[in-house]
Structures are given as structure tokens and as C-alpha cells.
């Protein structure tokens, strides 16, 4: 059974890298409210924007800390120490209250799970002897190592698997979580994900993995072993084997080229409907994009950011095309693209575009990107021109959105 939602979802990544850093306009430092409480006060706004899934940060306590060249970080959840739900983002009680409010608006919630590694130096409650069978240590690891691999986990160890299973059950049964975002999935076998999903009593609504590894030479990558050099085949293979989705890294590469003609290379425009429905499309995220600036960490990670001048074009593309689109919090709520994104979400829903929608390729006849998208019934419903000389489908269509010199969207009258 696939964990891919209903095909009509639009996701919001409700955090960024600098959120729990020191000061800055986008941090919670110095505020009386936690991030969970701040989000709870914005539920109406989130619902009004058209989001149907909210993707939350890692929920477990993280006391890690690093310093380098006058900057510092840590505490984001990606180097957690125990399965303690009182994190820097808020308390377990506040998380439950937030999810309850989102559910009242028919919004699902998925949680970022960091299962490949943890902080082995600060364990206080969930103590696994180190070194020992619970740790990969480069020997029992079923996938690639995180950094030096020192604190990678052996997820197939019964003690680790059972404790993860209990933690996921707590999130679903006690907190109301509806699914997962799996971090760093080339670090372990996909069967470990499937096993954990099967162990939960409730059925996950949506699940998406971060398979971000473009080298075909990684001998410790399970997907390379099975699918070889084709990065797209590895991403789609992970989604198929996990029965969930994977982020469309191929499309992200095309977006970063800032060339509209490259957009058709995304996995979301593959010929097979199941493949289109198995990817989550995005423009930026906490790792790849920037974050609202703070003294502690400047403008965030920015490992692989979308060129700023191409962001509107990229959002127009992912919000009108197949796949499940995911919007990065700062782009919508901090950097002035909110109204534009909200309008595009409304157009997507009105046209009846779904994650598996078919499309008609018009790029051979025009510059940039141009196409017509079909609705859930297979009927022509929406046309889009991104950086293209395409002027629209003609009679029977009306212009729904336009940003001069960047994109135009038409909808069937």
C-alpha cells in the first residue's frame, strides 16, 4: 500500500536551518513562545494559503553544538541525543496541541525522522553502549556513512529497531502524526524504513525520503548496488521500494540551472503516472537554500540554493505540474512570495491537477518551458509558459496568473 496521500496535496516545510539559532528575525531566540506555539497561532493562515500537509522538523531533543570561524550551530534536531519530545522547537504537549489544531483544518502532519545517526556523546535516557551492536562503526552499516560515520546507527540491531518503533508509535498514537520525512536515506537499507512503517499500528498518510547522493561510485550506497549509475532510477527505486515518495533531486538540479528549458527533465514529468506521483517537488529547503539571517550562522546552510532570480519561475512550475509540491517556509512567510504562491496553489486546486497528472509537451515549438496539464479526469485543464514565447492555448481559456517576463498560467474557462 502506497503512502502518497490523495494526490491533491500541497506541502509546507514549516521550519528552516536558523530557526533555533541566536537572535535574528527568523529565530525563536528571546521569544516567550516556542516554534510549536508560534505555528499554532498561524494555523488559520496556513490553511487559508491552501496547504494540506505540514512537514515539521526533527522532534527529539538535540543539545549538539559546533563553532567555526566565529559562527555556531547545533540543536536543529539532526544530531539528537534521546527520544525526548521536549526539543528546542517546543514541548511534547505543545506539539500535540499544534497537531490537533492542524487536524481541525484537515491538514496532515509529517515529522522529519533522523534514523541514520544520533549524538552518541550526550545520551542520558536512551543509552546504547558505545561502541557496541547498536552502532554501525563502518562494519554493520547497511548504507553510506554520515560524515565520519562515528555515530551512525545499526538500525537492524533489535534494540535499535524496537526503540525506533516505540518512538514512531508514540508520535503517531499520542501526538497524532500522520507520516514521515526520512532523512539521509542512502545511509541505510530501504527495508529498514519499510519495517518501521509496518510496525506502526496506524497507517501512514504520507512518507517521503531524502535520497540526495548523485555519485554512481558510492559502493556503500544500496541504491547504487541495485540501480547503478542512473540517479533518477535510484531515486524512483527508493520511492517504489519504500511505497512512499522521494524528493525530486533531478528537478532541483534543473531548477538550479535557472534555464526554463531544463525543467522538463524532472522526474515529475516522466511518462509513467506512478513515477510522477512518487516524487515531491521543491525549490529550496533547510539544507539547500538559505535561511533568514542570524548572527550565529549568517544566511544558513545554502548548500545548493536556487538562484534568487529564478524562484518565481520555479514555484510557478512546481505548483502547476505533476508531483507533490513542497513550499519552503522562508520563501512563503519571510521573503515576500506568499501571495504569489497562494494564488498558484488556488489555481492548481481549481484546475484539478494531481500528483499523477499527465501533460502535453509544447517545448519543441517554443523557447523555455511550455506545456498543458491534464486534470484527474485526463482532460486539459491548465496551460503554463515559463520563460517561454508560448502565448497560450487560445479560445476557451483564460489567463489565471502572470508575472511579466517570467511566467503565465492559463486555466480552462
Task: Tell me the HSE value of 304 on the side-chain side, using a 13 A CA sphere.
Answer: 18
Tell me if residue 361 falls in helix, strand or coil: strand
Residue 183 among the catalytic residues: yes
CA–chain centroid gap for 178, Å, is 15
* Structural Rg of the chain based on CA atoms: 21
Contact 90, 34 (CB under 8 A): yes
Identify the active-site residue in 210, 231, 284, 340. 210
Q: In whole angstroms, give the CA distance from residue 392 to residue 389.
A: 9
Helix (H) or strand (E) holding 327: strand 324-328
Which residue stretches of 105-206 are H helix?
158-169, 190-199
Residue with cell 546504547: 128
Give the Å distances, CA to CA, from 322 to 9, 31, 161, 201, 329. 11, 39, 35, 31, 21
Taking alpha carbons only, the member of 159, 122, 117, 121 closest to residue 138 is: 117
Output phi, psi for 244, to 5 deg.
Answer: -125, -145
Q: Which of 76, 82, 126, 183 is catalytic?
A: 183
Question: Which residues are 380's β-sheet partners?
Answer: 374
Cα separation, 97 vs 175, whole angstroms:
8
Active site residue 210: yes
| Sequential DSSP letters for 149-168 | -TTBB-TTSHHHHHHHHHHH
Phi, psi angle pair for 330, to nearest 5° = -60, -35
The widest CA-to-CA distance across the chain, in whole angstroms, is: 70
Kindly compute the dihedral angle of the four CA atoms of residues 69, 299, 263, 313, in this order, to the nearest 10 degrees: -160
Three-state secondary-structure class, residue 372: strand
Cα 102 from chain centroid? 18
> How far is the C-alpha of 324 from the C-alpha of 322, rounded, in Å?
7
**Nearest residue to 155 (alpha-carbon basis) of 199, 122, 121:** 199
d(CA 36, CA 14): 10
Active site residues: 183, 210
Amino acid at each position: 500500500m502506497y503512502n502518497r496521500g490523495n494526490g491533491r496535496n500541497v506541502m509546507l516545510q514549516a521550519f528552516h536551518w536558523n530557526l533555533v539559532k541566536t537572535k535574528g528575525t527568523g529565530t525563536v531566540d528571546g521569544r516567550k513562545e516556542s516554534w510549536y506555539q508560534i505555528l499554532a497561532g498561524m494555523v488559520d493562515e496556513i490553511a487559508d494559503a491552501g496547504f494540506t500537509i505540514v512537514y515539521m522538523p526533527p522532534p527529539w531533543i538535540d543539545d549538539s553544538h559546533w563553532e567555526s570561524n566565529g559562527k555556531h550551530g547545533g540543536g536543529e534536531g539532526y544530531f539528537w541525543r534521546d527520544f525526548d519530545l521536549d526539543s528546542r522547537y517546543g514541548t511534547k504537549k505543545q506539539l500535540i496541541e499544534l497537531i490537533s489544531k492542524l487536524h481541525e483544518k484537515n491538514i496532515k502532519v509529517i515529522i522529519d525522522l533522523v534514523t541514520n545517526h544520533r549524538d552518541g556523546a550526550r545520551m542520558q535516557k536512551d543509552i546504547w553502549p558505545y561502541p557496541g551492536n547498536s552502532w554501525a562503526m563502518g562494519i554493520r552499516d547497511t548504507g553510506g556513512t554520515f560524515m565520519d560515520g562515528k555515530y551512525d546507527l545499526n538500525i537492524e540491531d533489535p534494540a535499535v529497531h524496537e526503540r525506533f518503533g516505540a518512538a514512531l508509535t508514540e508520535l503517531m498514537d499520542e501526538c497524532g502524526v500522520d507520516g514521515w520525512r526520512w532523512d539521509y536515506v542512502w545511509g541505510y537499507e530501504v527495508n529498514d524504513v519499510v519495517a518501521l512503517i509496518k510496525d506502526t499500528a496506524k497507517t501512514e498518510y504520507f512518507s517521503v525520503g531524502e535520497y540526495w547522493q548523485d555519485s554512481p561510485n558510492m559502493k556503500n550506497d544500496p541504491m547504487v548496488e541495485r540501480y547503478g549509475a542512473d540517479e533518477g532510477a535510484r531515486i524512483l527505486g527508493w520511492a517504489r521500494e519504500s511505497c512512499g515518495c522521494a524528493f525530486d533531486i533531478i528537478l532541483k538540479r534543473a531548477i538550479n540551472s535557472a534555464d526554463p528549458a531544463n525543467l522538463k527533465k524532472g522526474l515529475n514529468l516522466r511518462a509513467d503516472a506512478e513515477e510522477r506521483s512518487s516524487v515531491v517537488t521543491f525549490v529550496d529547503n533547510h539544507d539547500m537554500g538559505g535561511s533568514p539571517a542570524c548572527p550565529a550562522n549568517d544566511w544558513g546552510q545554502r548548500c545548493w540554493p536556487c538562484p534568487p532570480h529564478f524562484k518565481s519561475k520555479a514555484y510557478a512550475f512546481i505548483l502547476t505540474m505533476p508531483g507533490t509540491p513542497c513550499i519552503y517556509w522562508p520563501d512563503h512567510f519571510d521573503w515576500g512570495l506568499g501571495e504569489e504562491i497562494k494564488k498558484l496553489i488556488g489555481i492548481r486546486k481549481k484546475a484539478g491537477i494531481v500528483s499523477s497528472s499527465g501533460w502535453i509537451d509544447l517545448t519543441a515549438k517554443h523557447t523555455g518551458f511550455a506545456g498543458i496539464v491534464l486534470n484527474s479526469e485526463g482532460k486539459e485543464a491548465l496551460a503554463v509558459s515559463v520563460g517561454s514565447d508560448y502565448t497560450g492555448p487560445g479560445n476557451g481559456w483564460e489567463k489565471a496568473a502572470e508575472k511579466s517576463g517570467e511566467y503565465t498560467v492559463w486555466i480552462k474557462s
